[in-house]
A and B are shown apart, each in its own frame.
Chain A
């Protein structure tokens, strides 16, 4: 297949980025300039640090060759001869697995020079991260790969034109790239048909939380969320009632129990005010203190904030302290609207989406479970004795 044909097929498939943003993959690949003397790169984003998400892990630990093949396809499509798989540092044993698989591929002639006699060259290696959620952001990932602090970059220019070492780069999530072989083998139309209009194919969901069968499930796009919880994930654990759902990793607005009758695809979830995100589905039962949840979520973002821009750096830190104090019983009436306002003051104003990721769930929790906050003001928490937890610092 020619590069143009590959990109066409990818466009037909309606495959959208599985890392969280959901950008159409074929379109992303088509942005890479065709005529340039600069080397081009394929980067597989295996940073997977979004809370609730653990679906790239099984892909790498059980089917690394699929990923390698996906990278090769991408390389062929844009004319890249070098790729790196950025794997978060915590997944150390997985890096070993991936490196072994790469070794095998080289040995059999699927990587290296003149692959299978086609004249196409491609070199691939794994690269370890060292503990940073922000490095899952594509431009921060490139900074980290270049050996620097993981600060995101000014966009535009976008990685497709100015990426790794200033050269055209395609960065895709591990799952997205792992899907490419199937698409090319069986056709973009076939893949698209598995899903819903503009949301092609299937995706992996790592379903966790208060359910009977937490696990990794591959379901077609548009699958109903209610069915996912009750049927696929075996229903609520210990028969408890559902209170809230995090649909795609903690960076999404939360859904309440009466919002779960929705098709799980990018557009449908966006319509009800949340995001499909990274496929990290977390099911929350009625016995969970939502204030505690908001607090823990903010702890995460404050810990992971890279510190580059004022709103995220100061905002997440302030909210973390505020939510800690509030949860532990030191709250005041003005704190509730303040949590909402500070989150909104970060929204849309930060340098990279981490600020939005911290703001969105918080705003949704205050909005939908405000009464729990008010209870805390009165010194009441219906769900657990107030526990002092020293957040991961």
Chain B
């Protein structure tokens, strides 16, 4: 099966990272799913071949992980968290609102194929609750209006801006805090190595 060159390159890169080919299986499935929207039999067969496994081994591994899917989702997969932190700050109501707005339920796809909806477990945005993901983008500190605006933008083909950093990580420091590992939070470009080196790095 022919793969788009970028994916092909990714696969080669992945296979080279591990001493055992099988380790590349889950990343390969994730990236293939990103490319094709879901994991078809054909795609899994191709991955199986490259990793040196049979279909049973691949399908049983795929079946275990909740992010992997065998059927297409919408172009925008809306994942609303309703776990404890989000629930406490209106996650359930938000989910209900989203269901109504999109007209679909859990794990369903809208007739046009634009949206699909999933009620998910904690996505790691607790301090920005209530939160949701659109595909991989995080949207936090939501309320029904913000959510509506996001959907409108999506439907218009525009890209709403997700959070770049978890809400609540960048804030004026409380005097009680002792900064050891969060020292560099908030420094512009803190992910870059030069900035790290300048700030005590390595």
The answer to whether any beta carbons of A and B sit under 8 Å apart in the complex is yes
B7 within 8 A of A: no
A105 to B193, Cβ gap below 8 A? yes
A58 to B191, Cβ gap below 8 A? no
- Nearest B residue to A283 by beta-carbon distance? B88
From B67, B89, B182, give the contact of A130 (CB < 8 A). Answer: B67
B191 to A52, Cβ gap below 8 A? no
Q: Chain B, interface size: which category?
A: 35 or more
Interface-lining segment among A88-96, A319-327, A338-346: A88-96
A50 to B122, Cβ gap below 8 A? yes
Distance between B171 CB and nearest chain A CB, rounded to angstroms: 5
**Docked CA distance A62–B189 (Å):** 8
Interface members, chain B 145-202 (any A CB < 8 Å): 162, 164-169, 171, 174, 176-182, 184-186, 190-193, 196, 200-202
- Nearest A residue to B165 by beta-carbon distance? A61
A93 to B137, Cβ gap below 8 A? yes
Interface-lining segment among A21-29, A209-217, A370-378: A209-217
Q: Which residues of B contact A100 (CB under 8 A)?
A: 191
Q: Which of B68, B126, B164, B200 has the most CB of A within 10 A?
A: B126
Interface-lining segment among A4-12, A152-160, A218-226: A218-226
B196 to A66, Cβ gap below 8 A? yes
Q: Which residues of A contact B186 (CB under 8 A)?
A: 62
A-B contact count (CB 8 A): 259
If over half of A's interface residues share one DSSP class (helix, strand or loop), that class is named, otherwise mixed; here it is mixed
Query: How many A residues touch B, CB cutoff 8 Å?
Result: 97
Interface members, chain A 81-124 (any B CB < 8 Å): 88-93, 97, 100-101, 104-105, 108, 110
B122 to A148, Cβ gap below 8 A? no
Distance between B155 CB and nearest chain A CB, rounded to angstroms: 23
Question: CB within 8 Å of B: which residues of A?
Answer: 39, 48-54, 56-59, 61-66, 69, 88-93, 97, 100-101, 104-105, 108, 110, 125, 127-133, 144-150, 165, 175, 178-179, 181-182, 185, 191, 194, 201-202, 204, 206-210, 213-220, 223, 227, 231-232, 246, 250, 280, 282, 284-285, 288, 292-293, 296-297, 300, 303-304, 306, 387, 389-393
